[in-house]
A = this chain, B = another copy of it.
Amino acid sequence: MRESIKLGHGSGGVLTHRLIRDIFLKTFNNRILRRLEDAAAIGRLAFTTDAYVVKPLFFPGGDIGRLAVSGTVNDLAMKGAVPKYLSITFIIEEGFPVDELKIVSRSAQQAAAQARVKIVAGDTKVVEKGAADRLFITTAGIGIIPGGTNVSPARVRPGDVIIINGTIGDHGIAVLNKRLELGLVMKLVSDCAPLGHLVQTMLSTGSNRRAVHMMRDPTRGGVATSLNEISKQAGVGIIIDEEALPIRPAVHGACELLGLDPLYVANEGKVIAIVARKAAGRILPTMRKHPLGRNSTVIGEVVKRPRGLFLKTGIGGLRPLLMLETEMLPRIC
């Protein structure tokens, strides 16, 4: 039987990785792409792209326009780059309201202004009714990596600590609540935000640039998927502490209700920073002073062995957190 694309191929999990390895890496084979980082580093230039198919387009805390700008800004920031220029393309279904296109564009521009980037190139395509679900956006971005910045999996060392800048799972649950019209009255708001400025603050001194070994934004597949990737790319083990995980009660409750694990739910305004242990006491207060880092906290540590990602549970056991094979939440970003 001919193999066909499943929703899981877009999950960010095992199937996505297999697709990337078996098709894209093999076909587009080059040294830069093989690194599989959030943004490609070409000398001092960082370059990245993401497609956005979130459903619904509007959700508490944002919309596809804000998401498309924030996501690409964040991918640049994760390489330590200062985001500078964005491109944006719109694929629009015939009949889409012009008013909504205006709102989405304004949201994109607001996020761009917040991130101090300019949207300098774009394209619009319209497809006939039924050929697309309302609106898809793709952004690409260029940033400049300041001299002395080198964040990469190769720098991760056993003993490093794992910092996150706030609560986990907010984006995915906010979108899901809106999409499924769950009517959860709890306050569920996406964390969707551009992190460029927070990251620049974190990297503003030479000693901090040495201490921040790598960063990743835990979007599709959530914190557990990102940490699994880091563990694999850096060749280390990672242990996170269940009791240290910042999760809003509303998100926790919604996850229980839906049978979801917040560790696998997408975030869109979060950075995971792997930081030299001795510098954490200096970097955490810096992050907490920033509006997007108020709830920054250490959630775990890097170990030599065992390899892979583990959750230290309340009762002291180690539970492996694997990459998911299937799609838990399609069209979350």
A94 to chain B, nearest CB (A): 5
Q: By the criterion of a CB under 8 Å from any partner CB, how many residues of chain A are at the interface?
A: 76
A32: nearest chain-B partner, CB-CB: B120
A111 to chain B, nearest CB (A): 11
Partner of A126, one of B10, B91, B96: B10
**B121:A5 contact, CB within 8 angstroms:** no
A10 to chain B, nearest CB (A): 3
A102-134: contact bitstring with B at CB < 8 Å (1 yes, 0 no)? Answer: 100110110010000011111111111011110
Q: A6-B94, A49-B123 are in contact. Are A23 and B101 (CB under 8 A)?
A: yes
**B132:A87 contact, CB within 8 angstroms:** no
A9 at the interface (CB under 8 A from B): yes
Partner of A124, one of B16, B96, B109: B16
**B33:A98 contact, CB within 8 angstroms:** no
Q: Which residues of B contact A89 (CB under 8 A)?
A: 49-51, 138
How far is B106's CA from A181's CA once the two chains are assembled, in angstroms?
Answer: 42
Q: A9-B92, A133-B131 are in contact. Are A27 and B121 (CB under 8 A)?
A: no
A95 at the interface (CB under 8 A from B): yes
How far is B50's CA from A24's CA once the two chains are assembled, in angstroms?
Answer: 20
Partner of A105, one of B27, B91, B140: B27
Instruction: Name which of A7, A87, A112 has the most chain B CB atoms within 10 A of its CB.
Output: A87
Considering only residues 27-46 of chain A, those with a C-beta below 8 Å from chain B are: 27-28, 30, 32-33, 39-40, 42, 45
A330: nearest chain-B partner, CB-CB: B128
Considering only residues 44-103 of chain A, those with a C-beta below 8 Å from chain B are: 45, 47-53, 55, 84-85, 87-99, 101-102
Please list 24 pairs of residues, one from A and one from B, whose beta carbons are closer than 8 Å in the complex, sorted by A's number.
A3-B98, A5-B94, A10-B92, A10-B127, A20-B122, A23-B101, A27-B109, A30-B120, A32-B118, A39-B121, A40-B85, A49-B89, A49-B122, A49-B138, A51-B90, A51-B124, A51-B125, A53-B125, A53-B131, A125-B136, A125-B331, A126-B330, A128-B330, A132-B136
